[in-house]
A and B are shown apart, each in its own frame.
Chain A
Amino acid sequence: MSRLDRTSLVAGLVTTLAGAVLLLDRLDVLNLRFDYALPLLIAAVGAILLVAGLEGPRDRQ
C-alpha cells in the first residue's frame, strides 16, 4: 500500500483554494487585489515547501 504523499495533498488543496479564490473574484464575490494576492501566493508556496520539508525524503522503492 502506497504511503500518503502529504506534499501532493497540500499542493492540491492549495491549488484548489487558489482556484476557488480566483473564481470568487471572477464572480465579483471577492475583490482580489495584488496587495492581497501576493501574500497569499507567497503563503501558498511557503506552506507547500514547509510540508515538503517536514515530509523528509521519499522512500526509494
Chain B
Amino acid sequence: MTATAQLRRDDHRGVIAGVAAGLARRVGVDPMIVRVGFIAASFAGGFGFALYLLGWALIPGEDGARAPVERIAGKRETWLLVGGMVLLALAAMLLLREWGLLFSDAIVWPVILTAAGGALIWRQSQEGSGPLSAGSDDALREARGSDPMALPRLTLPRDALGRAFVGAALVVGGGLVFLWLNDALRPARDVLLAVVVVVVALTLILAPWWLRLVRGLAAERTERIRSQERAEVAAHLHDSVLQTLALMQKRVDDPREVAALARRQERELRAWLNGRRAAGDATVVLALEAAAAEVEEAHGVTVEVVAVGDAPLDERALALVAAAREALVNAAKFAPGGPVALYAEVAPERIEVFVRDRGPGFDPAAVPDDRRGVRESIVGRMERHGGRALVHTVPGAGTEVELVMVR
C-alpha cells in the first residue's frame, strides 16, 4: 500500500489541521475543492464544521502521529478517574433527588459535565511533576536558551494538553448548559452572537498570517538546533580525532605509540558515538583531573590542578570540561616544556576554570579563520551552553584562558 492510499491529515499542505488536504490527497483531487466543500457544508446547519472537527479528531496525522481522540484516550487512568467522578456525582444527585432536596435536569447535567471536566484537569495537574520539572538536561538547556538564568518554560506535553483542553471544555460547557437551561443566557445572546461573528471574521482574516508565522518560527528553531548540533560535532571531532591525528604525525617514528594513540582514540570515539561517559568522571573536579591526566600523557607536559569545591557532572559542566581540556591541549602544544596550571572553583551558582601557561602567547586577531580550536572548541562551545570564555594573552607573556559557566 502506498503512502497516498492511507487516509492521513496533511499537516504540510493543510491550512487549519490538514483534514481537507489529507482527504484531497487520499481521493486525488485539489485540496481547494475539498475546502470549498467543507465551507459550503458549514452553511448547512454547521454540518461541514462538525465534519471537519470529526475528521480532525479521528484521522491520524503524518509520520505515524496518532489521532487526537486516540491520544487523549490513551491513558487508562485518566478515564478511570473521570468515570469515577461522574459516577460519584450521579450517585449523589440520585440520593439528593430521592430525599427531595434536589434537583431538576437544569442542575444534574451541568454538574456531571463539570465533574468530568474537573477530574480531567485535576488529573493533569497531578502529572505536573513530570513535564514541569524539565527533567532532562537537554530540556532544561533548550528551555534556558541563551539566558542561563532563565527558568524552564512551564509547558505540558501535547497529550496532556489535549486532555486538559477537553477538561476545560467540559467545565465551560457545563457552566454554559447550566446558564442556558436556567434561561440566563437570553440577555447575553445578542452580545454573544456579535462577539462570535467578529471572532470568526478575525480568525478567517488573520489565520493565514498566523499559520505562516508559526511555521516560520518552527522552521527557524529546527535550523538553529541543527546548526548547534553541527557545531557540537565539529568541536568534538576537532578536540579528539584531529588532535590525535596531529599527535600521530608527530610520533610517526614510534609505531607502538602511534598504535596506542589510535586505540585510545577509537575507544573514545566509540564511547562518544554510543553516548557513554567515562565511569570515573562523575564530578566536575574528577573530570578536570582526568582531562589533565590525558593531556599530560599525550603531550608530555606537567599540568598542575588546583580545585576548590565540586559538583556533579551535567551537560553544562561537561561542556566546560571539554573546553578546559582544549585549553590544556593548546597550552601543551604552544607552551612546551613549561608547566601548565589549571585552577577550578566550583561554587553553587557558577563554575570558574582558569588555564594558564608561560608560553610565548599569541595574538588572537592573527589566528586564521580555519583554525577552530579557540573559536569553536572553547569560546563557541561555552557560549552554546550558556557560559563564556575569555582568552587573556599577550605575545611573549603567556596565556590565560578563563572559563565561566553559570549553573
Contact = CB atoms under 8 A, between A and B. Distances in A.
A35 to B, nearest CB: 5
Interface string B357-376: 00000000000000000000
Contact of B77 (A38, A45, A55): A55
B83 interface: yes
Contacts of A54: 77, 81
A38 B93 CA distance: 11
Contacts of B79: 53
Interface string B64-106: 0000000000001111111111111011101100100000000
A46 B87 contact: yes
B123 interface: yes
A43 B88 contact: yes
Contact of B84 (A38, A46, A56): A46
Nearest to B93: A39
Given A35-B98, A36-B98, A48 B77 contact: no
A40 B92 CA distance: 9
Q: Which of A43, A53, A56 has the most chain B CB within a 10 Å cutoff?
A: A53
B98 A49 contact: no
A21 interface: no
B83 A46 contact: yes
Contact of A36 (B80, B95, B123): B95
Interface string B123-150: 1000000000000000000000000000
B98 A40 contact: no
A47 B95 contact: no
B91 A53 contact: no
A3 B4 CA distance: 49
A34 to B, nearest CB: 10
Query: Interface of chain A, helix or strand or loop or mixed?
Result: helix
B96 to A, nearest CB: 9
Interface string B180-192: 0000000000000
B77 A56 contact: yes
A42 B90 contact: yes
A52 interface: yes
Contacts of B81: 49-50, 53-54
Interface in B189-222: none
Nearest to B98: A35
B347 to A, nearest CB: 39
A39 B96 CA distance: 10
Contact of A42 (B82, B94, B98, B123): B94
A51 interface: yes
A53 B86 contact: no
A52 B80 contact: yes
Contacts of B77: 52-57
5 contacts: A39-B90, A46-B84, A47-B84, A50-B85, A54-B77
Nearest 8 CB-CB pairings of A with B: A46-B87, A53-B81, A50-B84, A49-B84, A53-B80, A43-B91, A46-B88, A39-B94
Given A38-B94, A46-B83, A54-B81, 19 more contacts: A36-B95, A39-B90, A39-B91, A39-B92, A40-B91, A42-B87, A42-B88, A42-B91, A42-B94, A43-B88, A46-B85, A49-B81, A49-B87, A50-B81, A50-B88, A52-B80, A53-B80, A53-B84, A56-B77
